Amino acid sequence: METPEGPPPQRLSTLPSRLTNQAAQTANRIVDQALAQAGIRRYHYALLAALEEYGPASQAALGRRTGIDRSDMVATVNELAERQFLERAPDPEDRRRNIVTITATGRKELAHLDRLIAAAQDAYLAPLPAADRRNLIDLLTRIIEHHDGKTR
């Protein structure tokens, strides 16, 4: 990534870790712009996706599953509840805890968001043919799986 001062030093330009980080920044920007069309952030999408795929859960369990920090989870749940995309109710087994459930409106919104995310992925991966896209996903998955749990 060239700056007004010129390209970075060659040794930086070939570091896989740096390239991966730069690619992630670009991907995040494209996804954020796509979700903004619906007034949604990545946390919102992650929470709706987790609820749709895994069913009702406590806020703490959702935070662990999605990587959303506890301090951000309450605000995220509040924002989605205001838009009627999810409901929360006291857990019958532990009244101190809320159980969060996606609503029919939330499922409909998630389907819309899935289309926005798919378009964002296509925009991000535009320079790559289908075979390279599959290969990139495979390589990144292998790196993540190899290191999963080693740094946590």
CATH number for the domain including 98?
1.10.10.10
Q: Among residues 34, 93, 107, 16, which one has the least CA distance to residue 58?
A: 93
Residue 41 lies in a domain: yes
- pLDDT beyond 80 at 38: yes
pLDDT greater at residue 53 or residue 13: 53
Which range has the worst mean pLDDT, 5-19, 52-66, 112-126?
A: 5-19
What pLDDT sits at residue 152?
45
Residue 138 lies in a domain: no
Residue 120 lies in a domain: yes
Residue 146 lies in a domain: no
Residue 91 lies in a domain: yes
What does the alpha-carbon distance between residue 46 and residue 26 come to, in Å, rounded to a whole number? 19
What pLDDT sits at residue 7?
85
- pLDDT beyond 90 at 30: yes
Structural domain of 64: 34-126
What pLDDT sits at residue 96?
84
The band of 4, judged by pLDDT with boundaries at 50, 70 and 90, is confident
What pLDDT sits at residue 6?
84
The DSSP call for residue 61 is H
Number of domains in the chain: 1
Q: Is 55 left (phi over 0), alpha (psi -120 to 50) or beta?
A: left
DSSP string, 109-145: HHHHHHHHHHHHHHHHTTTS-HHHHHHHHHHHHHHHH
- pLDDT beyond 70 at 78: yes
The band of 149, judged by pLDDT with boundaries at 50, 70 and 90, is low
Residue 116 lies in a domain: yes
- pLDDT beyond 60 at 81: yes
Average pLDDT over residues 82-100: 92
- pLDDT beyond 90 at 141: yes
